[in-house]
A and B are shown apart, each in its own frame.
Chain A
Amino acid sequence: MSDLRTPLTSWHEAQGAKMAPFAGWLMPIQYEGILAEHLHTRKHAGLFDICHMGEFRIEGPGAAEALSRAVSHNLETLAPGKCRYGFLLNEKGGVLDDGIIYRFGPESFMAVVNAACAANDLATLRARLPESVNITDISNETGKVDLQGPDSLDVLEKLMGENFHDLGYFSFREAQWQGVPVLVSRTGYTGELGYELYLPAGKTEDFWKALLADERVKPVGLGARDTLRLESGLPLYGHDLDENHSPAEAGMGRMMTSQAAYVGKEGAQVVREVLVPLKIEGRRAARHGDDIALPDGTVVGRVTSGSFAPSLGYVIAFGWVDAAHANGENFVVRAARTELPAQKVEIPFYKDGTARKKLA
């Protein structure tokens, strides 16, 4: 089998997880079941193997300015110890990938990118950065596990013997667990209070097991990861984001605050289609590729993500809709056997998340 294995793949297999290829990796889709894992994360804490994602260190004289031209993240206002979400764009402003950039110092950064895009991201960034700036692929030596859910802070503090209450949303700091350096980042994609944790790959399994020793923590597969991120209203690269669409079309135009002349800046604000969040009453799901039509039957778009939302009890979806029709409120999704009445709603779909909870 040619699928890549994370430091935790053998553990997942031993637990009887349902495994499947994902972005070139053999990953756990679910352990006990998507619904149970989803709801456990909303109530307590879920633990995710995210070792497949790509991490690059970017540093050297001129790194800040050069990186500012390479990606859309606003690095001018990003202080050390903070991280920011943004995009790697093509010349036309289409999204090549989305990801988070961490700032360690004035000229020292880490980019965290999607597994499926990592090789292309690395080549693109290398081509856009001058020789004085080093970009190092640290994906293989970096383990990444994410702890997400309302109990995550308490679990983490208990395990690591350190107070993280002062760590603000989208902030990070380096800490230690049994002498192992762990980068603790208060970020995530579930809509809940949560942490993305980076450590040496060889220590990942020990750390994973130590986190799971807390009864509030359960392992969560990619299935529930997807339903959690969708309920949180976050677009997924390869489904809701792609190189033919701009960040503004995905509703991210206003967060593009960088003053730098980054690649794709002009096209980043172009809007031809709009990523519309839809609510569908009932349990029958809209699926990627289903047509979106106006009530009179005119097809104006297509579904990019859709699922039964476990926390909400109905179906939610994202879809690209022609800009001229995106202000409408009522649509019809044409699923395989039937037509589903859909209503445009505001994101996040799930509004009771603890992600931005004040911890003081």
Chain B
Amino acid sequence: MATNPTDLLYSKSHEWLRLEGDEAVVGITHFAQESLGDITYVELPLVGDEVSEEGEFGSVESVKAASDLVSPVSGSVVGINTALEQAPEKCNGDPYGEGWLMRVKYSRKPEGLMDAAAYEAFCATEGH
């Protein structure tokens, strides 16, 4: 199993978040992409949309499953990864890099997220 980067925060719904100044970058975790299998479609919000903590902001589909994306942070969307329109498989191959989903200018610092060690322990309870 690939290790989860220690500079990120993680949610129970398997999204990750990286704080960069007053913005946050969001993606899905290695565990999430592995559970879904080959990702064939990613639905992202539009730049300018408001997203809220624990609210849906899109969805991700694999050949056999579809799953909602849940935002780990509240704020307004200032960037989306448009490369995923043509290459959603980047979420499989590089979930913490080229497979990022959206950039949010957050309205308040997110709370209750896990660090990498806590997240790995959490994933272990989910059957991996």
Q: Which residues on A are within 8 Å of B, measured CB to CB?
A: 18, 29-30, 33-36, 223, 226-227, 282-285, 287, 307-308, 310, 336-337
Contacts and interface: CB of A to CB of B under 8 A. Distances in A.
A33 B38 contact: yes
B41 A284 contact: yes
Interface string B87-98: 011001000000
B41 A223 contact: no
Given A34-B64, A223-B63, A337-B59, A284 B37 contact: no
Nearest to B58: A337
Given A283-B40, A308-B40, A310-B63, 12 more contacts: A33-B92, A34-B63, A35-B38, A35-B40, A35-B63, A35-B89, A223-B63, A223-B64, A226-B64, A285-B66, A336-B66, A337-B59
Given A284-B61, A285-B61, A30 B37 contact: yes
A337 B60 CA distance: 12
B37 A33 contact: yes
B38 A285 contact: no
Nearest to A285: B61
Contacts of A36: 38
Interface of B: 37-38, 40-41, 43, 59, 61-64, 66, 88-89, 92
Given A310-B63, A336-B66, A283 B41 contact: yes
Contacts of B43: 284, 337
Contacts of A227: 63
B59 A336 contact: yes
Q: Is the interface of A mostly helix, strand, loop or mixed?
A: mixed
Nearest to A20: B64
A20 to B, nearest CB: 10
Contacts of A307: 63-64
A26 to B, nearest CB: 15
Contacts of B59: 336-337
A39 to B, nearest CB: 11
Contacts of A284: 41, 43, 61
A282 B88 CA distance: 12
A283 B62 CA distance: 10
